[in-house]
Every structure is written in structure tokens, then in C-alpha cells.
Structure 1
Amino acid sequence: MGLGVSYEEAATPEGMRLYAVGDVHGRHDLMSALHARIMEEILHDCPPDWRIVYLGDYVDRGPASSGVIEQLTSMSAQDPRVIALAGNHDIGFLDFLSEPDPYGLFAMNGGYETALSYGVEIDFSDRSRMMPGHHALVDAVPQRHKAFLATLPFSASFGDFFFCHAGIRPGVALENQSATDLTWIRREFHGFSGLHPKLVVHGHTPVREPDIKSNRINLDTGAWHTGRLTALRMDGRQKTLIEAPM
């Protein structure tokens, strides 16, 4: 697997600018502002090529998950250079729609707010109370949102950078990483200090400040409750952190 790539050495493909955006969690206001700022930079600087990679967890906890999904569905359909990856909460939302569980990820971790953003209030106190709200939510979520969530890729890679929601399992080739690890892993990934084949850019685990290590960078600054949505701009070897306007 080679010696690996460090944060300092990692570079984009020549002529390509990359952006990665951390966990949105229903903060459509912050995502819209940050995306507008990124597009202003792209239009002003005119890089020969570019990609914007959203790192997953678009729903739950924050107030406007439906707006986040609507904008991402539209943007990625209009321009394939806007890439949205799958997060564990996005998968949990789909799972709840098909197999409702009052004790699952969606019900226990901010799904109430997601349902509310679609105009549906769900009582998660037990299964019988939950089911009317579940049926209403299934009807309320547009088919294009379901199709968008069902087809999200689990990773993307450009140049020396590997993008995913949660991280990777050390020692496993990037092309052999499991969907579960890419959306859920924490301890084994965070505790590994060696270099990976590429620099891993991820979210999933909220941190007070963007967490920059030699082998990875975590961009999840807990936007849903901190009001800080963080992105990383990568241009050649240059790397710059940017945030949504407050």
C-alpha cells in the first residue's frame, strides 16, 4: 500500500480545485450560505476543474433537513461536480421509511426534527403511536428525495485525497472498505497514527475545531448546534479552512 500520504504532502490533481463540506444535519441556512460562498470563489478564480464534496449526514437534529435534501438533489442533478456522499444518518432515514423502528437511529437521534421539516409530527414513545406518523412521512417525502438518498456513493477520491463520511479501517485497501466502516467507524480509525494511502477527509464525529492530523482531517464542527459549518478548500498542496458566514 506504499508509504502513504501526509496532510502536508497531499495534493489535488493538477488544475483541479477541491472543496469538502462537513456534516450539515438540517442546517439548510448554513449550507446555502457556504455553498454560495464556494461558488463565488469558483466563478471568481475560474479553476480549470473543480469538485465540491459533501461528506454526509444531511438530515436529523437541525430544523430544515428537507430543504438540505432538496438543494443537494437539485445541485447534484444539475452539475455532477457537486458530489454528495452517504452518512449514517442519511441511511438511517431511508431505513426508517422502509422499516420503522421506535428505537432505531432515526427515532433516537434527531429524526423528530427531520419529520417535522416535511410537515409531519411523529410520536416515538412506542410503535403503535409511531405508525400514523411513519405513514404520513412516507407519503410526505418526495420520491426524488428517496431516490437521491438511495443512490448516494460511500466515498470519492481525487488526487491524494480520499473522502468519506466517518473514516476507513486501517490496513484495508481503499477500494475494499466496507460501507459500514465508511459511514460508522470511529475508534480504530481515530486511534491509528500511521499514514493511509491517501489523506482521509471526513466528518461524523463532532469536534470543537476542525481536527487536522497527519493522516486525516475531520470537518464536523457540529453545525446543527454550534452554527459553524466547516469546509476545506484544496488547491494543489494548499489547504484552507472556510466556514459558513455566521
Structure 2
Amino acid sequence: MQYVLSDLHGKYEGFMTLLDKIGFGDSDKMYILGDVIDRGEKPIDLLEYITKQSNMELILGNHEEMFLSYLSRGKNSTMDLWVDNLGGTTLQQYERLSQERRNNVLDYLQSTDLYKMVGNFILVHAGINISDSKDSTVEKIMESQKKDDLLWIRSDFYRRSAFAGRTVIFGHTPTSVLHDKNYIWFDEKYGDKIGVDCGAAYGGKIGCLRLDDMREFYV
């Protein structure tokens, strides 16, 4: 079975509970659409766990990108705002790791993809921008995407149509913004988008979608 979820934000125990609930096993596959760190209690524990699972794949989120940017630019960089408001717990836990474990975390994050195409699904953290690419193929449109759009875009994506015959599954924007509920959002207007960030970082839920039969799971 194939599963997808997003924006765990350090909710380690909740994620473990979800894995038990769905009976996640060695023959299954989990796609995590970014933002496993920041805001929650155990961001580095969660990230390290994911790095060790051969059947889990992390798509880069904007919070992982901010973390990498901060580490590359130094503590006096403009990324101080990330530490003060979002990433303090992540940074503290990261700095307590041995150098070997730090290297493993960084190597893993630097190897993550910005999107993944799985069958007719396009998996991405925030969304896509296809406003200037209507006459191109899906593959070419995805290859030409800007990183900032894949990591940060919001209403310019979810308020417009995407791809006919394809479904974009995304996180980043909590589903409470999309339909006032902490449950997975299916775009009824265009039928080509599914939002799976059910607001775990804000007192909502961890939502998980099984791609094989579109069954929903929540913790």
C-alpha cells in the first residue's frame, strides 16, 4: 500500500500512533510531503526516524529548506527569524547530536526531491505554478518549476486548475484554510488537487491518505 501525508512538525508520538493505526509494514510505502521539523516537540527525533526507514520518502518542505539555509549561512544571518519564531527546538536538538548524526541528517535532507510523480499523482509540499506553461507537457512543466513555488505557493495554486488527468497532492496550506475543517481537502471545483495538511501543528490532526483506495486516516 502507498500512503501520503504532510506537515508533521515534530509530532513524533502522533506519527507513531498513525503508523500503528494503518498497520504500516515493510511492504508499504510512505510519502511525506515536507515540514517534519519545527513547531512540535520532537522534530529531530522524527526526522532521524524517517531517515532510517527505507520505505519512507521525504519530499522537501519549506521548513527543511529554512533549516538548511540557516546552517549554510551561519548564526548571524537573516535566518535568525527562523530560530526565534519557528526553529529553536529543531536547532537545539540538532546541536545535541554527534557530528556523525548531524552529517547523516544533512546528507539526507540535501538528497531529498522537490516533488515526486507517482502514477497519476504529483506529490509536492506547497503546490505548483503552471500559469505560463499551459501548452507544455506535465513533465516539462514540473521540470521548469521554481523552488520557491514548490515550497511556498498558496492561493495562486489552489484557487486555479492544475492538470487534466493528474492530481496534485500537497501540504503547506492547512486544510482549515481550504474548507474550514481539519480533514483532507478534495478540490471539488477542478477535481485535480488534494490537500493533506490537516493542521497537526495548530491543534488539528495528522491526516493520511492511502493512494491505493483513497481511504483516509486520522490521529
Could you state the TM-score of these two structures normalised by the residue count of structure 1? 0.72
Q: Residues of 2 paired with 1:71 and 1:104: CA distance?
A: 27
* 1:58 aligns to 2:36 (yes or no): yes
* 1:113 aligns to 2:92 (yes or no): no
Q: Which residue of 2 aligns with 1:9?
A: none
Q: Deviations over 1:182-201 (max 9, x none)?
A: 11111210220354452000
Q: Which residue of 2 aligns with 1:241?
A: 216
Contact 2:170–2:196, Cα closer than 8 Å, also in 1: yes
Q: Which residue of 1 aligns with 2:143?
A: 175
- The number of residue pairs the alignment matches comes to 200
Partner SS state of residue 113, structure 1: helix
Question: Which structure has the greater CA radius of gyration?
Answer: 1
* 1:148 aligns to 2:108 (yes or no): yes
* CA 1:222–1:141: 2 relative to 1, 3 Å: farther
Partner SS state of residue 110, structure 1: helix
Q: Which residue of 2 aligns with 1:86?
A: 60
Q: Which residue of 1 aligns with 2:175?
A: 207
* CA 1:89–1:196: 2 relative to 1, 3 Å: farther
C-alpha displacement of 1:103: 4.8
Contact 1:102–1:108, Cα closer than 8 Å, also in 2: no
Could you state the TM-score of these two structures normalised by the residue count of structure 2? 0.81
**What amino acid is aligned across from residue 99 of structure 1 in structure 2?**
R
* 1:216 aligns to 2:197 (yes or no): no
Q: Which has the higher contact order (CA 8 A, sep 6+)?
A: 1
Q: Which residue of 1 aligns with 2:179?
A: none
* CA 1:30–1:149: 2 relative to 1, 3 Å: same
Q: Deviations over 1:195-237 (max 9, x none)?
A: 44520001001223222101111111121231511111111xx
Q: Deviations over 1:70-107 (max 9, x none)?
A: 101101xxx2x321110010011111111133555622
Q: Deviations over 1:150-201 (max 9, x none)?
A: 1111111111101010001124422322222111111210220354452000
Q: Which residue of 1 aligns with 2:117?
A: 157
* 1:70 aligns to 2:48 (yes or no): yes
Point out where structure 1 has 5 or more consecutive residues left out of the alignment.
1-16, 44-48, 121-136
Point out where structure 2 has 5 or more consecutive residues left out of the alignment.
134-140, 177-181
